[in-house]
Amino acid sequence: MSDLFKKAISLGWGLTIVSKEKVEKIVDDLVKRGELAPSESKDLVNRLVERGEEEQSQFKTWIQEQVRRVLTDIHVPSDQDIVSLEQRIATLEKRVAELEAERSEPAAE
């Protein structure tokens, strides 16, 4: 059975998009052809589904890292950068308003 499991794993990323129902159908076909004992089928389905979920999580993490790297490489500002800039703008706007108020006070007197 370990050889069969290795073959299934060798499908690579394919497991990340195969539904549990499809895995069960494939395993049922293996049982019908006598390539897998019925007592082993549930365990194999569970392991294949678990492996698929792990690969899907790893793939998602990899994609996120690649996107983050590309965004950094092309200098797209992060959310934190934008918040920081918004705070700086608010501070500058306040300071400009204060200076304009000081400037207009002597003229009014």
| Residues 42-71: tens digit of each pLDDT | 888 888 888 878 888 888 888 888 888 999
What would the pLDDT profile of 4-23 be if each residue is shown by its tens digit?
A: 545 555 554 455 556 778 88
Q: What is the pLDDT of residue 100?
A: 95
The residue assigned the tokens 């159908």 is 25
Q: What is the pLDDT of residue 99?
A: 96
Give 81 or 105, the one with higher predicted confidence: 81
- All structural domains of the chain with their residue ranges: 2-76, 77-108
pTM: 0.52
DSSP string, 38-66: HHHHHHHHHHHHHHHHHHHHHHHHHHHHH
For 16, 20, 22, 28, the CA distances from 13, given in Å and listed in that order, are: 5, 15, 15, 21
Q: What 3-state class would DSSP assign to 34? A: coil
Beta-carbon-side half-sphere exposure of residue 105 (alpha carbons within 13 Å): 6
